[in-house]
Amino acid sequence: MPKNGAMAGNPLQPSPLQPSLLGEAPATAEPATAGTPDLAALERDCRECRRCGLAEGRQRVVVSRGDPAARLMVIGEGPGAQEDASGRPFVGRAGQLLDQMLASVGLDSERDAYVCNVVKCRPPDNRRPTPQEIAACAPWLAAQIAAVNPSVVLLAGATALEGVLGIKGGISRLRGRWHPWQGRSVMPVFHPSYLLRNPSREQGSPKWLTWQDLQEVRRRLDQDQPSTPSL
Ligand code: SF4
């Protein structure tokens, strides 16, 4: 399926994926397939964004890494210090753990996933982004989702759960469950930073549970594999 449409849509114009609708879109809605923004233009424009106060303290706007043609999209909270310095999401310790955990189920974060965050600029002192900052940045995320058009979305942590599905709290209860959303399969999981603080691999531990979740993600990706037309 083509991932990048030819139209260079402006993500700041009203669209079916505006911020408030990120969490309210009907579960049966289909992913956008036409009129999707050009991802390169979108990312270029995003790097100039000053829609919220996070622009003041940032070094770099951290838009994405990975493959825009991937069927898996990973969405985290926001950049930390290393991401702010490098301009790439999930490259610090948490990102390395994410890479390891994806690799444990045979997924390469650069080749098999498109990785981004709810907010693209680093919050001071790594604090959680405010609802206003999440709302300000939501059109960028919505445009990324529309352009990449993933079939499976991994929400890493409570802020991603809130930013995409509009659900506050409940990551422990909701992780590991599929949430149909806009024709996609969405799964919340613990954020890798939380797993770094809870390193036990004992059965039932957050890390063990996340590994189960990622195995389920892998199964879903395998099930949804587009069939190759027979000649
Ligand atoms: S966090 Fe998002 S909305 Fe705020 S300045 Fe950065 S790109 Fe713009």
Q: Where are the domains of the chain?
A: 33-220
* 33-220 carries CATH number 3.40.470.10: yes
From ligand 1's centre to the CA of 12, what distance in Å? 12
Predicted TM-score (pTM) of this structure: 0.85
- Please state, in angstroms and rounded to a whole number, the distance separating the CA atoms of residues 128 and 37: 28
> What's the pLDDT score for residue 230?
52
Give residue 27's pLDDT.
35
**Residue 38 clears pLDDT 70, i.e. is over it:** yes
The 10s digit of each residue's pLDDT in 80-124 is 999 999 999 999 999 999 999 999 999 999 999 999 999 999 999
For residue 136, which atom of ligand 1 is closest to its CA?
3
- Let me know: does 88 contact 62? Beta carbons within 8 Å: yes
Q: What are the angstrom distances between the C-alpha of 109 and each of 64, 100, 103, 231?
A: 11, 9, 8, 32
Identify the three-state secondary structure at position 74.
strand
Give the pLDDT confidence of 162-172 residue by residue, as tens digits: 999 999 989 99
- Rounded Cα gap, residues 221 and 15, in angstroms: 28
Residue 55 Cα, ligand 1 centroid: separation in angstroms? 6
| Residue reference for tokens 């290393």 | 82
Pocket of ligand 1 (CB under 6 A): 46, 49-52, 54-55, 61, 119-121, 133, 136-137, 140
